[in-house]
Structure 1
Amino acid sequence: MLAVKIELVLDRATGRDVIKAVISTIFFHRMFNSVRPVQREVLDVTYCIPDDKPVEALIDSECNAIETSDYDASEVDAFVVPPEATVVVIPSSVQPPSRARSSQINVRFYEKKPRKVWQMKAEEVCWEMWTVSVKWMSSLPDGSAQSQVQKAMLRIIDIVNDYKDHIPPITSTEPNPFPYQIVRSV
């Protein structure tokens, strides 16, 4: 399993849009069916989302939930990401206070493995997990959020281009052969 962690320091004014852009970029690069790209822009950074209404609705609902939540950092810090191929993107100009409010979203992709036992549903095994961890600040220096979006998007592109061996074979004719899940951790 590939586990990737992207850490961001954001303010509430732009945070929801930045998180949506990052998660949409992950989905765009992990939808293996014929996907028509739809361009969006956040903080003068253009990104693509898949033209898939259910995926877009799921991303919107999770980002709306993050926007209206107020998480305590002490609850989030207990979550551990497996160390395999972990990547961290932290802006060098911004260091959050140790007790900053935090949010975390996991995007997981699964492979359906058939079970050997008769009449049992297929087992879903996670083959990739992206963790977007956000420390919330009351304000950020000018250009910090834009810089973080650019770095996160470039890192996502680097990861999907560099790490391909862990992707399971496509054995289904379904529009999206791999189930996915977005999980908010608190």
Structure 2
Amino acid sequence: MDPPPVFTLALLSDSSHLPDLLRGILHTIFFHRFFSSFRPFTRDLLDITLPSFNDPALDTVIESRLRTLEGDTAPPQVAVCFYEKKARKASWFAKEEKVCWEQWVINITLVAPRTEAERAHARRQIEDQLQATILKIIAVASAEKNHVPPITTNDANPFPYTIALLPKGETWGTRMGIF
């Protein structure tokens, strides 16, 4: 079995904007990979309008991950993994297994501006990076569709997912046992 595609994104942030930026990027990823019916809306972040939708279960997961960032240094990566439920062959115990079909890895770089001029420059850089990241998500989600499994269930969300904050020295591949 081929490993799932991994799409890497860059996030530049200062500590005050990090939760909002991560929330915006995560919602954008899910907006393009959440295959259920929902009412879309937009969120404004810095000077950029981002796509979003209301899903209480997803919001709870995202907010619980973001709460772990409070008072802490940022993890070097945040990873989102989408799974397909497949029937397990020749198994006595579990009838189905989760197989990863796509990963998104967000590499975080924190900046710490000290002066007002540095803060203004950092904000411009953060906005530019956010815009480039959002455009990359849209381009990848639009172009990379061949690996998306068929929807075979009537569940509200046919594909389970995980959102992981990865500590320094750990990668998404090692956490999953791939590398």
After TM superposition, the score normalised by the length of structure 2 is: 0.82
Partner of 1:126 in structure 2? 100
> What is the distance in 1 between the residues matched to 2:129 and 2:52?
18
Select between 47-56 and 136-145 the one with higher mean Cα deviation: 136-145
Unaligned segments of structure 1, at least 5 residues: 72-101
Matched, 1:2 2:5: yes
| 1:6 Cα offset (Å) | 0.8
Partner of 1:19 in structure 2? 22
| RMSD value, Cα | 1.5
Matched, 1:171 2:152: yes
Counterpart selection for 2:82 from 103, 109, 126: 109
3-state SS in 1 of match to 2:162: strand
3-state SS in 1 of match to 2:127: helix
> What is the distance in 1 between the residues matched to 2:8 and 2:70?
20
> What is the distance in 1 between the residues matched to 2:166 and 2:112?
21
3-state SS in 1 of match to 2:105: strand
| 1:57 Cα offset (Å) | 1.6
Matched, 1:152 2:129: no
> What is the distance in 2 between the residues matched to 1:58 and 1:182?
8
| 1:121 Cα offset (Å) | 2.8
Q: Is the 8 A contact 1:66 1:103 kept in 2?
A: no
Identical pairs, percent: 35
Q: Is the 8 A contact 1:25 1:153 kept in 2?
A: yes
| 1:174 Cα offset (Å) | 0.3
Structure 1: which 4+ aligned runs deviate by more than 4 Å? none
> What is the distance in 2 between the residues matched to 1:56 and 1:63?
10
| 1:69 Cα offset (Å) | 2.1
How many residues of Structure 1 are paired with residues of Structure 2 in the alignment?
156
> What is the distance in 1 between the residues matched to 2:12 and 2:47?
18
> What is the distance in 2 between the residues matched to 1:70 and 1:147?
23
Q: Is the 8 A contact 1:7 1:133 kept in 2?
A: yes
| 1:115 Cα offset (Å) | 1.1
3-state SS in 1 of match to 2:17: helix
Matched, 1:70 2:44: no
Deviations 1:12-52 (A, max 9, x none): 12122111111110011111010211311100211122210
3-state SS in 1 of match to 2:157: coil
| 1:125 Cα offset (Å) | 0.6
Counterpart selection for 1:30 from 29, 33, 41: 33
Deviations 1:128-180 (A, max 9, x none): 00011101111252411111111110000000001000000111110000000
> What is the distance in 2 between the residues matched to 1:165 and 1:66?
35
Q: Is the 8 A contact 2:12 2:130 kept in 1?
A: no
| 1:119 Cα offset (Å) | 5.0
After TM superposition, the score normalised by the length of structure 1 is: 0.79
Q: Is the 8 A contact 2:20 2:45 kept in 1?
A: yes
Partner of 1:50 in structure 2? 53
